Amino acid sequence: MLGIIVELLLSWILLWLLQKQSLTVLGIFPTRRRIRALILGFIFAGMINAVYHIGTAWAVRDPWQWSAEFTVRHFFSGFWWVLKSVLFEELLFRGALLYLLIKYIGAHKACWMAAIAFGIYHWFSYGAFGNPAQMAIVFLITGLAGLMYAYAFSRTGSLYLPVALHLGWNLVNIVVFSNGPLGRQWWYRNGDLKPEGLPSLFLFLFQVLALPLLVLGYLRVFKKRRPSAVERDLL
């Protein structure tokens, strides 16, 4: 939590020194439009991730099992851990730095730079550095996700949608389906079997492309609506 507070402080200092702006340019105050984006983004990401994990279990004939040891307390503990990690990464990669990059070099270049940085960051957070094959896969998956989050911020003028997408994906992935650093959580599989052949390719493409395509469609609809002052400032 201390890291998030430090990020907010540094973000405010940067925004004030370079643009004479406050944290409000990150779209942090709730509005009906932002709350709607928050809810839909969370549902989109959680749904796609759940379909991926259910499909993986079906492909290898290794069904998910409910952990009898998992409690409501475990859920909220996991939720709090995921929320803090998501807020930390969003403020770092889609906060003041991305806003400033958009102002100085344009949205397209800024979003790609943020995506590349996000992919490289996960080489180290996933412990993939030094393994070329794993580095390539991690960079592709997290880099594309980072691009999606960056464009979500750029198009909506707010952190609500990227935070919701990131939180929905990570919460379902880590806490619901036990695929992360917290170990066994709500649902688990006995083995660690991976799909092969066409099912493997299909599930990989679904994991990588389904959510970005869904979000792209949403952003096109969002763009047709009248933008707020913060959104106009970013466009």
Domain ranges of the chain: 34-234
pLDDT in tens, 73-111: 999 999 999 999 999 999 999 999 999 999 999 999 999
pLDDT in tens, 14-54: 999 998 999 999 999 999 999 999 999 999 999 999 999 99
CA dihedral 26→31→47→107, nearest 10 degrees, is -30
Stretch 147-168: mean pLDDT: 95
Lowest-pLDDT choice from 31-45, 140-154, 187-201: 187-201
The answer to whether residues 73 and 175 touch, using CB atoms and an 8 Å cutoff, is no
Query: Is the confidence at residue 228, as pLDDT, over 80?
Result: no
A 10 A CB-CB count for 141 gives: 16
